[in-house]
Amino acid sequence: MEFLVRTRLTRPESATDEQVAELMAAEKARGNELMDAGVIKRLWRVPGEWGSWVLYEAPDATAVHEALTSLPLWKWMKVEVHPLARHPFDRN
């Protein structure tokens, strides 16, 4: 099942540049693991924002939740999850 996930990040005022750099490196590493596992299928940056749209593939919403909460930046994220269904006019 596919899920389109919108994430928006908010950096706490108390976060240092060093903490942000460490979390971003850890986020990239975890994201690569999820991509290698086929959980993250596509990833898009939202221009002008600290956030993204991500296409996840997982058996169910619980698996998507587990993947999201495994991300190091999870605690700074606001997340919207949209389950997707095939459109009858889709030619792919």
pLDDT digits (tens, 9 = 90+) for 22-79: 999 999 999 999 999 999 999 999 999 999 999 999 999 999 999 999 999 999 999 9
Q: Domain of 49: which CATH number? A: 3.30.70.1060
Number of structural domains, the chain?
1
Domain contains 32:
yes
Query: Containing domain of residue 62, as a range?
Result: 2-83
**Distance separating alpha carbons of residues 77 and 28, to the nearest angstrom:** 15
Give the chain's end-to-end CA distance (angstroms, integer): 15
By C-alpha distance, which of 38, 18, 31, 17 is closest to 77? 31
Q: Evaluate if residue 92 carries a pLDDT over 90.
A: no
**Distance separating alpha carbons of residues 69 and 58, to the nearest angstrom:** 14
Domain contains 69:
yes
What pLDDT does 18 receive? 96
**Distance separating alpha carbons of residues 92 and 89, to the nearest angstrom:** 9
